[in-house]
């Protein structure tokens, strides 16, 4: 059995000096280790991005606060946004994709293991570059500073004249480098899924996680590349005296917005589609039913990817586009709601009539469903261009996209952590701490982000570092900050759970959730080679077939 192989490995590892272990991790091309590296790296930046969020929230806690200066405030929201999107959300999702996709499709590794390692280290050095700006932003002499141009770095703010020194260059180069890493990983995921599936794993039998990660990777190719191109143009402007975004030489600031949002909006779906994937794996297992409407689910994913490539300018209603453009982008944006609604319906359909087990992963997925729906509804509100003219630059938008990213993406991610942690480490996460984490986080989340909509409706603009008292925003902003602290405590509970369970958690065994996909057929943690002999599958739930030979799925599909 596989446990023998594991025992030998650990015995070897115990006798080794730590330098050798470190060397192994640094030079590894194993998809599981790279997946873990991606996830740990992202968690590290989650803490940093979280601290930046706290600095922002403490500053806004009460009117006329002077916790940080306006300059520092600008740097904080720039770094918070950039960090959370590029160095937390992307790597953490790539980490899960890296770890799970080969295991779920019955492969021994990714299609290009060395490209995989290369991509990870590109991403890692991208993050280091971004944070090196704190030291080197003004050149190596004197005090450095972080970029302060916002995570979108609108032209001409990001030009030499308005952003002197090197802080914006660090931002540009960091995104460029990590963008190459993302493209490399996306190519790898696509090639793995197309070329490395085990016998019998037709596209029609592939786990939805693999399907959705393939769609996500396709979107990365089409969405990150424009950002890469735009960053090259910005570098040409800043270093070679080009005029792409130089309005004084006839360049266009609007063009940068288009290029940025051609990346920026699909990026939201790049992040949410893998979270759909987590929900699509977790909800069926804890409802004890196969997923409802598998082909429709796949179709809806492809449909979302397709439509979401044509909605970007809804971020630009307030700059004054033609009424045709406004109508087009309003309609396409609302159209994305249709396939997304289909998905929500399918998850509900999966739960309907199931024997639902309210374990922590399922709780987070239910939270995800509920909150993502509300985030989608405020999205539909903002998709209507007249409404957006009113609230486009307000805190309402901030509340909306944090509802998507925290309420949707982060909740699904937490669910994924609780669900696959046993597979990755061999130990269960503590259920009590998990439930505490969930409830604290739900309370903190709703306190922060539900209330955040209201100052926006009352006229509080985004990106302001302080405000006048007596506008009706004071109490709300205070409560929003309190909610942020509750979320912070919940996250500490989570981290404590990760650490404690790693050493003291109950042994997981191969298949703690009685699940149906291939990753649960191997030991936890899986052996280096994943599968001693490559499995063959005959249905969407190979382990169901194995456990119930008298009534296998393959008879019905």
Q: Which residue has the tokens 């492969």?
A: 107
Contact residue for another protein among 54, 112, 134, 502 (CB under 8 A)? 112
Q: Which is nearer to another protein, 133 or 523 (CB)?
A: 523
8 binds another protein (CB under 8 A): no
Contact residue for another protein among 188, 308, 326, 487 (CB under 8 A)? 188
**How far is CA 110 from each of CA 9, 222, 355, 373, rounded to the nearest angstrom?**
22, 21, 35, 34
Q: What are phi and psi of 427, to 5 degrees?
A: -125, 150
* Closest of 376, 362, 225, 340 to residue 288, by C-alpha: 362
Distance CA 423, CA 486 (A): 29
536 binds another protein (CB under 8 A): yes
Distance CA 216, CA 186 (A): 8
Q: Which is nearer to another protein, 183 or 480 (CB)?
A: 183
**Omega before 555 within 30 of 0, i.e. cis:** no
Q: Quick one: tokens of 361? A: 């992963």
Q: Which is nearer to another protein, 44 or 306 (CB)?
A: 306
196 binds another protein (CB under 8 A): yes
Q: Quick one: tokens of 90? A: 């992307």
CB 382, CB 314: distance < 8 Å: yes
Contact residue for another protein among 7, 8, 135, 221 (CB under 8 A)? 221
200 binds another protein (CB under 8 A): yes
Interacting stretch for another protein, rule CB under 8 A, among 157-165, 221-229, 348-356, 383-391? 221-229
Q: What are phi and psi of 366, to 5 degrees?
A: -70, -40
116 binds another protein (CB under 8 A): no
CB 182, CB 231: distance < 8 Å: no
Q: Quick one: tokens of 111? A: 């299609």
Distance CA 557, CA 549 (A): 15
Least gap, CB of 241 to another protein (angstroms): 3
Interacting stretch for another protein, rule CB under 8 A, among 409-417, 464-472, 495-503, 546-554? 546-554
Neighbours of 345 (CB within 10 A): 15
172: left (phi over 0), alpha (psi -120 to 50) or beta: alpha
164 binds another protein (CB under 8 A): no
Contact residue for another protein among 29, 68, 191, 253 (CB under 8 A)? 191
249 binds another protein (CB under 8 A): yes
Least gap, CB of 150 to another protein (angstroms): 21
Q: Which is nearer to another protein, 78 or 172 (CB)?
A: 172
Residues at the interface with another protein (CB under 8 A): 1-2, 5, 111-112, 115, 183, 186-188, 190-192, 194-197, 199-200, 217-218, 221-226, 228-230, 232-233, 236-237, 240-244, 249-252, 255, 259, 262, 510, 518, 521-523, 526-527, 531-538, 542-543, 545-546, 549, 552, 554
């Amino acid at each position: 059995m596989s446990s023998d192989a594991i025992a030998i490995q650990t015995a070897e590892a115990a006798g080794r000096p730590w330098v050798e272990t470190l060397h192994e991790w640094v030079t590894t091309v194993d998809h599981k280790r790279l997946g873990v590296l991606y996830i740990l790296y992202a968690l590290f930046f989650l803490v940093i991005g979280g601290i930046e969020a706290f600095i922002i929230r403490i500053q806004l806690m009460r009117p006329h606060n002077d916790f940080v200066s306006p300059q520092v405030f600008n740097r904080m929201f720039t770094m918070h946004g950039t960090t959370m999107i590029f160095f937390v959300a992307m790597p953490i999702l790539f980490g899960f994709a890296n770890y799970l996709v080969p295991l779920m499709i019955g492969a021994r590794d990714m299609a290009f293991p060395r490209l995989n390692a290369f991509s990870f280290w590109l991403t890692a050095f991208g993050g280091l570059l971004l944070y090196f700006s704190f030291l080197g932003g003004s050149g190596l002499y004197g005090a450095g500073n972080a970029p302060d141009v916002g995570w979108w770095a609108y032209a001409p703010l990001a030009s030499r004249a308005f952003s002197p020194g090197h802080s914006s260059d660090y931002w540009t180069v960091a995104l460029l480098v990590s963008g190459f890493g993302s493209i490399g990983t996306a190519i790898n995921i696509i090639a793995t899924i197309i070329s490395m599936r085990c016998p019998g794993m037709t596209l029609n039998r592939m786990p939805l996680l693999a399907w959705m990660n393939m769609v996500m990777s396709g979107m990365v190719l089409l969405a990150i590349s424009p950002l890469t191109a735009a960053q090259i143009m910005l570098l040409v402007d800043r270093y070679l005296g080009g005029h792409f975004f130089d309005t004084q030489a006839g360049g266009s600031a609007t063009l940068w917005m288009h290029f940025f949002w051609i990346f920026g909006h699909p990026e939201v779906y790049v992040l949410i589609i893998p979270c759909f994937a987590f929900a699509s794996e977790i909800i069926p297992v804890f409802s004890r039913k196969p997923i409802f409407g598998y082909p429709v689910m796949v179709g809806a994913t492809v449909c979302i990817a397709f439509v979401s490539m044509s909605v970007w300018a809804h971020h630009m209603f307030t700059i004054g586009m033609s009424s045709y453009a406004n109508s087009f982008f309003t309609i396409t944006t609302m159209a994305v709601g249709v396939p997304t609604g289909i998905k929500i319906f399918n998850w509900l359909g999966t739960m309907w009539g199931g024997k639902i087990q309210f374990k922590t992963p399922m709780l987070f997925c239910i939270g995800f469903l509920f909150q993502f729906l509300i985030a989608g509804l405020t999205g539909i509100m903002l998709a209507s261009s007249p409404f957006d003219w009113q609230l486009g630059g307000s805190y309402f938008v901030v509340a909306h996209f944090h509802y998507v990213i925290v309420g949707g993406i982060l909740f699904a991610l937490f669910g994924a952590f609780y669900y696959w942690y046993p597979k990755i480490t061999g130990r269960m996460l503590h259920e009590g701490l998990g439930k505490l984490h969930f409830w604290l986080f739900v309370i903190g989340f709703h306190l922060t982000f539900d209330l955040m909509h209201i100052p926006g409706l009352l006229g509080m603009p985004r990106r302001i570092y302080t405000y006048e008292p007596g506008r009706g925003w004071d109490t709300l902003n205070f409560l929003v900050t309190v909610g942020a602290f509750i979320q912070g405590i919940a996250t500490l509970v989570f981290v404590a759970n990760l650490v404690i369970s790693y050493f003291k958690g109950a042994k997981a065994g191969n298949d703690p959730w009685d699940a149906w996909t291939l990753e649960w057929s191997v030991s936890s943690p899986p052996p280096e080679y994943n599968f001693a002999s490559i499995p063959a599958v005959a249905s969407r739930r190979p382990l169901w077939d194995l456990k119930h030979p008298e009534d296998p799925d393959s008879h019905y599909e």
